């Protein structure tokens, strides 16, 4: 098999690059990296549970970071912020931790069918241990079907997990209504939300929403990878899912990664310091990208809703007669980095479950491209992306040709 180094060489130099794959990873902007750097070796490099200066410094840095992040989601208690290595771990902790703690009360878990795999796969695992998962369907724009939720929610429900904003298609879910329905039917149930795609982009307040648990992630707001957090409302108790030496984090053992935590807090501050301005900028570029694609190319379908009901950063479009994996490669050769929900990008021949859940046919899902814009992108970036997409799609459609027809 090919040597990756050679592949990268063959890929060649690019005169312009626009990274839009913020769903899957993010570069750390210089202004955030700078805040982090001293914490690797100049200050606060000690273990925050120990009785020496570098340890106390670390304790202080972590507490300050938790305080900031708590304030951004409307929590008054920094102790409610539990740092984990990321969104996946926070989701695992939320679901497994809550299910194990509540198992004597019932076995039923409610989720939407468009949750990320770090929710759906955990549910599948819990099913092997005697829990049952009930999937709540969504409509063709990805909104949870609240009527179905009312029918499916009952006293048996011990845990519900519904994302705040869909990571693939940007749908801003009616979370407040969902919480009310679940708590009305089962007042004891724990309500978790994966808010990774809301945090820093869509107003999200744990108090107003009355959720018990919420997952947030650093790289989705341009912070470093490898750090996230689970908000756990005071008084809600979870089973730990990992054992070991516990430090400042009550639910996650191991040595705290202070530079990443500080980076997460710094990225949060940047996202929230000019929240409305950032959101307006992203939404404008998002709409420019969406309308440029839909108006500029035939055989295109927008996935997810439009306008205020869509996350300001999310663009997800299907290109017919264009397979998504080759489109990601073709765009990469033009310096535009995106991802696809095509089956060809996965190990099994099945495309994105989110796109199938909103009723996309397979050939529509295969041609899907997911992009996210940030406050750093410019109009020129979007124009370059639009031009690259037009060229890439027309080349791949030429390869598709008549397909024997």
Q: In the bound complex, what is the minimum distance in angstroms from residue 39's beta carbon to other proteins?
A: 31
Under DSSP, the state recorded for 183 is H
**Total residues at the site for other proteins (CB under 8 A)?**
49
Which of 35, 356, 384, 390: binder of other proteins (CB under 8 A)? Answer: 356
Q: Is 352 in the site for other proteins (CB under 8 A)?
A: yes
Span of 157-165, 250-258, 282-290, 396-404 interacting with other proteins by CB under 8 A: 396-404
Q: Which of 27, 344, 362, 395 is catalytic?
A: 344
Q: Is 321 in the site for other proteins (CB under 8 A)?
A: yes
Q: In the bound complex, what is the minimum distance in angstroms from residue 219's beta carbon to other proteins?
A: 16
Question: Both tokens of residue 322?
Answer: 């264009």
Q: Is 128 in the site for other proteins (CB under 8 A)?
A: no
Q: Is 148 in the site for other proteins (CB under 8 A)?
A: no
Q: In the bound complex, what is the minimum distance in angstroms from residue 292's beta carbon to other proteins?
A: 24
Question: Both tokens of residue 24?
Answer: 């899957």
Question: Both tokens of residue 398?
Answer: 């030429």
Nearer to other proteins, 143 or 204 (CB): 143
CA distance 83 to 32: 18
- Catalytic residue flag (residue 344): yes
> Vertex 272, ends 268 and 277: CA angle to 5°?
140
Q: How many CB atoms lie within 10 A of CB 135?
A: 17
101, HSE (Cβ side, Cα atoms, 13 Å): 16
Cα–Cα separations (whole angstroms), residue 59 to 28, 34, 55, 221 = 24, 20, 6, 24
Q: How many CB atoms lie within 10 A of CB 67?
A: 16
Answer for the pair 160, 178: CB distance below 8 angstroms, yes or no: yes
Q: In the bound complex, what is the minimum distance in angstroms from residue 352's beta carbon to other proteins?
A: 7
Point out which residues bind other proteins (CB under 8 A). 1-4, 6-7, 9-11, 113, 117, 120-121, 135, 137, 321, 323-326, 329-330, 333, 342-353, 356-357, 359, 361-363, 366, 398-404
Catalytic residues: 344
């Amino acid at each position: 098999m090919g040597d990756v180094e050679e592949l990268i060489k063959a890929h060649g130099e690019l005169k312009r690059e626009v990274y839009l794959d913020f769903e899957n990873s993010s570069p750390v902007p210089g202004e955030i990296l700078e805040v982090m750097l001293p914490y690797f070796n100049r200050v606060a490099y000690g273990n925050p549970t120990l009785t020496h200066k570098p340890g106390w410094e670390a304790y202080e840095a972590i507490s300050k970071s938790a305080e900031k992040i708590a304030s951004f989601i409307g929590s008054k208690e920094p102790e409610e912020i539990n740092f984990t290595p990321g969104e996946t771990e926070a989701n695992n902790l939320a679901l497994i931790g809550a299910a194990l703690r509540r198992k004597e009360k019932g076995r039923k878990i409610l989720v939407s069918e468009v949750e990320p795999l770090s929710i759906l796969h955990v549910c599948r695992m819990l099913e092997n241990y005697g829990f049952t998962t009930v999937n709540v369907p969504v409509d063709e724009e990805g909104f949870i079907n609240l009527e179905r939720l009312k029918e499916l929610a009952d006293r048996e429900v011990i845990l519900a997990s519904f994302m705040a904003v869909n990571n693939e298609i940007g749908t801003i879910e009616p979370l407040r209504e969902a919480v009310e329905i679940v708590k009305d039917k089962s007042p004891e149930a724990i309500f978790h939300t994966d808010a990774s795609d809301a945090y820093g982009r869509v107003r999200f307040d744990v108090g107003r929403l009355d959720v018990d648990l919420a997952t947030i992630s650093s790289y989705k707001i341009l912070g470093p990878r490898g750090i996230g957090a689970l908000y756990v409302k005071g008084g809600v108790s979870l089973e730990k899912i990992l054992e070991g030496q516990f430090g400042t984090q009550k639910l996650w053992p191991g040595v705290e990664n202070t530079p990443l935590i500080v980076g997460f807090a710094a990225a949060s501050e940047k996202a929230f310091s000019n929240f409305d301005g950032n959101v307006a900028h992203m939404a404008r570029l998002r709409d420019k990208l969406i309308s440029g694609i839909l108006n500029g190319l035939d055989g295109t379908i927008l996935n997810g809703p439009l306008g205020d009901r869509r996350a300001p950063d999310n663009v997800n479009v299907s290109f017919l007669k264009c397979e998504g994996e080759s489109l990601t490669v073709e765009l990469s050769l033009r310096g535009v980095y995106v991802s696809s929900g095509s089956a060809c990008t996965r190990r099994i021949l099945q495309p994105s479950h989110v796109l199938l859940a909103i009723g996309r046919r397979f050939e529509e899902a295969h041609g899907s491209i997911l992009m996210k814009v940030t406050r750093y992108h410019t109009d020129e970036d979007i124009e370059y992306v639009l031009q690259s997409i037009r060229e890439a799609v027309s080349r791949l459609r030429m390869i598709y040709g008549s397909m024997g027809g």
